[in-house]
Structure 1
């Protein structure tokens, strides 16, 4: 079995800043990566921010993964390569809150099975005969971040330049031990979640970073059950347009508490082929 790419899309939340998402696909595996937003100025890794750096390095590692390896082997290799590159490229010892990290979700297909691996809040759907089934993390995974944003909303949300109390809260959250993320420690691969589902030729897969899946999970603009029909009729760009329009109408992030007006939004839509 292999994967055909139908469409992919990746748009920055702020066109003046780097897009910290990545997506890609090989013969039988695909991935999305969402670098955790930088909470300080670049410098640890030269002129590039840590979020863009880890997204790019992980993307390169997934792209180089052998097609005949298991998804577990692929993910371990990605963790090892990211860790090695960080050791090579860092300019100094990092503060705990500036250590690069990312969410990711990867899939691989073989022998009528789709294997899924993830850490963080990227999402995926398996679509068959117009019906969408969630694979990977479930939709409530963003609740903690929404609650955190709500707790500091009185300081102002959505601004490019964050208020000092908001930045402090974010740095404290980023520094907490035990975060389950793609990071610079190869041992982090031991925390990866895995699942497997039967698949058949003609099934479709939709992989999304949290900025894209917000259209169903955070904003509830579209019901998950309606996504397959919208994809067929209008594609990813129409869904992204609805997403950005809603965010623009809630520029102060009050209706939907969040730390920036628009997040980087990335999706890849694929078909399983025999």
Structure 2
């Protein structure tokens, strides 16, 4: 989804955002890329569309998740100059996605797991860094040599790894049992007993997490969980190491991640639900005037 790769937009803003590197790649050449990233005005973001679990697509797109990623990206691009608060920008994007989903879908979802969802990390760089997030995308901030981590979900990742180990042991792949289990979990999205995530639903932003960091200049790395696996799952880097690797050679860093996954095709050494996930990284420098 090359159109979603980040691009810097320079206007008369008090903060300069310089995109240093970006990549967004599907986990398999046979599947649509359901990730995306972008930058406009004072904002930067990454999006991780959740791979669909339905038997048929609801939308005329490479996949329902790819559709949602594209719609969210377009809404963020369109609203970034007007909205001064990340939560309001994300809420506006949810309204756009809701209206388009209701208008463009072939039929109404029969169960919640059919509704497309996405993790999103959205940051605004001004006198402070304002962040809003849903799901498990990650943000690493380096300022004055100190690293700060925002987002990701150690608990979520531990659950996924344990579930993958239990359900996909011995390299048996995605069985009907695995699909049924994942549908059960997906049915809890944006419910009181479940987990918050972006969706074409006006209320999906209600449980978004917000953070503020007092940094006026430094570097930031926004990543989806397919890229953050280099830290949390494969132990290839720490945060500072991954940031340096991405800025130095983002394509080579992705190739390193893919090599680890290729050496574990049955997902037994590193339990996971698919051999390679979509992976996205957006590296930038920011500085106040």
Give the TM-score, by structure 2 length: 0.87
* In 2, Cα distance between equivalents of 1:189 and 1:102: 11
CA spacing shift, 1:47–1:118, aligned 2, 3 Å: closer
* SS at structure 2 position matched to 1:3: strand
Q: CA contact under 8 A between 1:124 and 1:135: conserved in structure 2?
A: yes
* SS at structure 2 position matched to 1:191: coil
Which one of the candidate residues 60, 68, 86 is aligned to 2:101? 86
* In 1, Cα distance between equivalents of 2:166 and 2:148: 32
Bigger CA drift: 26-35 or 174-183? 174-183
Bigger CA drift: 241-250 or 93-102? 93-102
* In 2, Cα distance between equivalents of 1:37 and 1:136: 20
Gap regions ≥5 residues in structure 2: 1-14
* In 2, Cα distance between equivalents of 1:10 and 1:132: 23
Give the structure 2 partner of residue 136 of structure 1: 151
Correspondence 1:195 to 2:207: no
Gap regions ≥5 residues in structure 1: none
Correspondence 1:16 to 2:30: yes
Bigger CA drift: 18-27 or 219-228? 219-228
Q: CA contact under 8 A between 2:98 and 2:202: conserved in structure 1?
A: yes
Which one of the candidate residues 157, 164, 171 is aligned to 2:183? 171
Which one of the candidate residues 191, 208, 223 is aligned to 1:208? 223
Give the structure 2 partner of residue 2 of structure 1: 16
How big is the shift at 1:146? 1.4
How big is the shift at 1:129? 4.1
Which one of the candidate residues 168, 175, 178 is aligned to 1:153? 168
* In 2, Cα distance between equivalents of 1:144 and 1:28: 35
Give the structure 2 partner of residue 180 of structure 1: 196
Give the structure 2 partner of residue 28 of structure 1: 42
Bigger CA drift: 126-135 or 51-60? 126-135
Which one of the candidate residues 85, 92, 95 is aligned to 1:70? 85
Correspondence 1:226 to 2:241: yes
* In 1, Cα distance between equivalents of 2:155 and 2:56: 32
Q: CA contact under 8 A between 2:23 and 2:280: conserved in structure 1?
A: yes
* In 2, Cα distance between equivalents of 1:155 and 1:53: 34
CA spacing shift, 1:230–1:154, aligned 2, 3 Å: closer
Give the TM-score, by structure 1 length: 0.92
CA spacing shift, 1:40–1:187, aligned 2, 3 Å: closer
* In 1, Cα distance between equivalents of 2:235 and 2:71: 32
Instruction: Report Cα offsets for 1:208-259 as digits up to 9, x if no partner.
Output: 0000011001111212232243344x33222211100100001100011111
How big is the shift at 1:138? 5.0
Q: CA contact under 8 A between 1:3 and 1:26: conserved in structure 2?
A: no
